[in-house]
Structure 1
Amino acid sequence: MARELYAAFAAQWDLRPFHRLQAAESRHEEALRALAARAGVALPPTAPGKFADAVLQQRHDTLRARGLISAAEARTAGEAIERQDLSDLRQLLAVLKNEAFRTVADNLARATERHLAAFSGEPGRGLRARAERPGAGCAQAGRRAST
């Protein structure tokens, strides 16, 4: 969900952190899919913006609508996404016994904490600190989303 929401926000607001986080979320998704495969868990087919779980669908739709209102609302939605991801990962870590799986989940949780910091407005760091600077968008920065 995070990857596709960040893609929508990046397209709408052209802020570099959304481009960067979109790429990072793709890597996170790949790690979770590999973890599920190793655990023998079959994942349902996915379609962008479509979730079998009604709660997830409602969350996606609400966050997407909010993030498309303004760049500030997109940042707030991004923070909510990362807080939920961190909560989900902590719940997963509480029940995982396999050390290799715990390592993957722990790495994802640490990365999610860094993503959350991008939205937290820490002085000199993160999306809030850079959002209003000239050249903060990808178009002006040469779209270095993969760096």
Structure 2
Amino acid sequence: MIALRRLAHFLAFGFGAGKAPVAPGTFGTLVGIAAYLLLQPLSALSYAVTVLALFGLGVWLCQVTERDLGVHDHPGIVWDEIVGYLITMYMAPAGWVWIVAGFLLFRLFDIWKPFPIRQLERRIRGGFGNMLDDALAGLYSLAVLQGIVFLAK
């Protein structure tokens, strides 16, 4: 059981990226880029199912890690950033320009937290609350990125 909790913490901390002394969320999003590169070859359906499963896993990872640390939404927990970035990149065109654009958009929405993200973040606690705000930031970023793709055609 102790090994499982340690694994949960390791994953919640983005394989160690969350231990960065500054901007751990940004470093977590960089791990999201690596995850995206691994998932990019999947079909749209397989990608979506995988990201949904990673979201569900993240609820548990964040819940366990928050409870063990005694801190809601500890800054070192970056699994939510990884999944949020993966949401941003759903059906994105191939290429580094889009990867970087998705990164910048996700970081913008994750930090800005436009309505209703900030309000939900304050009301919904636990692992689901931790994951929800970044998933919504990912959805906002996805919408803007797909809008840019549409306009670029």
Larger Rg: 1
Which band: TM-score by shorter chain? 0.3 to 0.5
